[in-house]
Amino acid sequence: MNTLTSVKNMIKNRREDNTVKNYDIGRNESCPCGSGKKYKKCCLNNTPELSKDEYYQAVKETDDEKDMIVLLQNAVKDYPEEPAFLLPLIVYNLQKGIYRDAAKYLKHGWQLMKTDLDEAFIPPFVSILLDEDKIDKAEDIVRHLLEKKGESVSLLISYAEVYKYKDDYIRVSEIIDRAVKLEPENIQLLIFRLETLMDLDDILSALSLWEKHYEKLQSLNNMRVVSFLNDFLEDKFNLKENANLTKKEALNKAVAVFSGFGKIDNLRLEKDKKKAGDILLKLKNIIPDDSPIVIDILARMLAAELYVEFEKYINEIENANKENPNFYRMLYLYNYKQGKINDAGNNIRKAFELAADQESGHFHLWQIASDYLKYLIDYENSNALFEFLRKFNNYIGENESFLVAVLMLLEDGGKGEYQEKFLIKLLKSQKIEGVDSLNTKDIYSSLLFLKLSVLEREEISLGKAENKTITEIKNIISKLEKDKMDTPAKNYARLRLLKYQDKLEEEEEERLINNLKEAEVKSYFDTIAYYEAVLRFGDPGSILTDIPYGEYLNDDYLNFYRLVAAFKLSYYEMGASLFYKQISAEIKNQQLGNYLARFLRYFSSEELLKHLKNIEADQKIINFLKQMTGKM
């Protein structure tokens, strides 16, 4: 049945239904058209173009879909209290994916019909409200429906969606349990449960649920989460090459494998090596030799120091993995642990070459690139290092900073050891041919930021920076001044060192801030220095209004700086909006601690707690911060 016919039938059936309820709109209520005016000052004053019967007849007679929709839109405008014209418009816009209009008519429908609005409209209505960040309104609507109509799977799923949007997965789980008690086999509920488990990266539970309801769910491969799980199985068991393995068999094996991994990950490997070894030996026998899962098994063998088992397994699967970059990375890690540095170097070089050849300009095996770069810094000469940099430069996006990308490869938990080694090597070299974006100013700025990070850690842990760190920063500043490089990073570093001067001239801070504002900002590093200085020594308001030099920072960086500025100025409405957009991703990526620690660069723990309370942050986040900072 096409859209035109289905909409006509819907109108016809409603008109013929003698039990249909009539609705009125109070004169002083908001007009459902969305104008924001009272009904008596808006659509109540409309002069209908046609009578209701004439609209019904015109819709019945038209054979053009567009004409029908225009008729219905006019009918809703003329008779906003008549659901027979309104509801088909909601259905039409939802089916066509015209969500802006669907939202308008759904809001109209809820205002008019309240709990009489068909339950099928509630999930899309709630989704639209959540997309508009109207969390409280969405929650109020679902609560009201649950109180009036009682619990149903559909309403409980919408209720859970609200708490999922809030990242309150404890409540989501509680609501799902209530829905399961009503209809454990409900297909809509099964899909929602799968989606929720994947949101939580709980692949084992998702696979187990799929295994339990395989036949019912497999018929829904058009659903995104089911399609994803199918692709996951095809990839993990290389089903295109292993045609003898059915998808159901692969699913059973996947559940066994990831269950085994879970058991190993919960062991204390220094005490339970034998248990880990026994589990891994069973798992390796149930997966194909060319499965990507072999890398996970090898990694766990290395973690448990099961070197004999590792060597044996490597020999078993070598032929099937000769073109697998991650296979050679595992060999690199093994040989490095064994002190076989030359063999390790050959392994990681092979891994990088294979990855580079296979990626076709879209490199994403960053861990291999990171390991190879660290190896080159430690053990190879500058020529080999620069050859890597020339090749790596081909994988950097047009708007990305080459130096930032390389420094990210060298992240080592904030220590900065490899980053410093790398930057010093760059400063000792001549210009690297083929990497035009590298310049001495940015290299020095990066080195300054590394040293300032050390200074900051010392200030937080010791109360003040050590003389050695202060001297190292001063030496870099002296070098920049000797070479007549006026960079924002240099001025920012001098601002940070003002407190360590024996005598502070009153106007010196102001002069340095003015110098920084006047310095030319042409890169990511210049922009970071500018923002840090403004947040610590200047007026943070400019970051909220002007967003200066925003082209050099990605949205995550910009929004974090804007959030810090909002906190400093006590702009809590803006702060709450920025905070909740960021915190969900950080929790999902298990980076809550690191995220909160970033704020401690700008606020004391007491100040940060005050700001979080003022934006009504979740108590679990506040308790996490208290525990992290010893304020419990």
d(CA 80, CA 48): 11
Q: How many Cα atoms within 13 Å fall on the side-chain side of residue 128? A: 20
In the prediction, which pLDDT does 439 show?
85
272: which DSSP letter?
A: -
Whole-Å CA distances, 296 to 301, 317, 329: 9, 13, 12
Q: How far apart are CA 431 and CA 439, in angstroms?
A: 8
Helix (H, G, I), strand (E, B) or coil at 38: strand
CA 540 to chain centre: 26
The values of phi and psi at residue 30, to 5°, are -65, 140
Q: What is the pTM of this model?
A: 0.79
Report whether 532 contacts 492 (CB < 8 A): yes
- Output the furthest CA–CA distance in the chain (Å, rounded): 91
8 Å CB contact between 38 and 27: yes
Torsion of CA 398, 400, 403, 407, to 10 degrees: -140
Q: What distance in Å separates the CA atoms of residue 80 and residue 63, rounded to the nearest whole number?
A: 24
Question: In the chain, where are the structural domains located?
Answer: 552-632
Q: Which residues pair with 38 in a beta bridge?
A: 30
Cα separations in angstroms, 128 against 151, 178, 275: 22, 24, 50
In 3-state terms the chain splits into helix, strand, coil percentages (rounded to 5) of 70, 0, 30
Which structure tokens are listed for 107?
Answer: 């809001």
Name residue 30's beta-bridge partners.
Answer: 38
- Residue 27: CB atoms within 10 Å: 10
pLDDT of residue 99: 87
Q: How confident is the chain (632 residues) per 10-residue block, as mean pLDDT?
A: 74 69 81 81 86 88 88 90 89 88 90 89 92 90 94 96 89 95 95 94 94 90 90 92 91 96 86 90 94 96 94 96 96 97 97 80 82 95 89 80 90 85 87 76 92 90 91 93 88 90 72 81 90 90 86 89 94 90 78 88 92 89 86 56
Q: Closest Cα to residue 448, out of 459, 440, 437, 438? A: 440
At residue 179, the pLDDT reads 96
Q: By CB neighbour count within 10 A (0-12 exposed, 13-18 middle, 19+ buried), where does 176 fall?
A: buried
- Enclosing H/E stretch for 263: helix 247-265
Alpha helices in 32-166 (DSSP H): 52-61, 65-78, 83-96, 99-113, 122-131, 135-149, 153-165
Which pLDDT score, from 0 to 100, does residue 176 have? 96
The sign of the CA dihedral 470, 476, 482, 488 is negative
In this prediction, residue 382 carries a pLDDT of 86
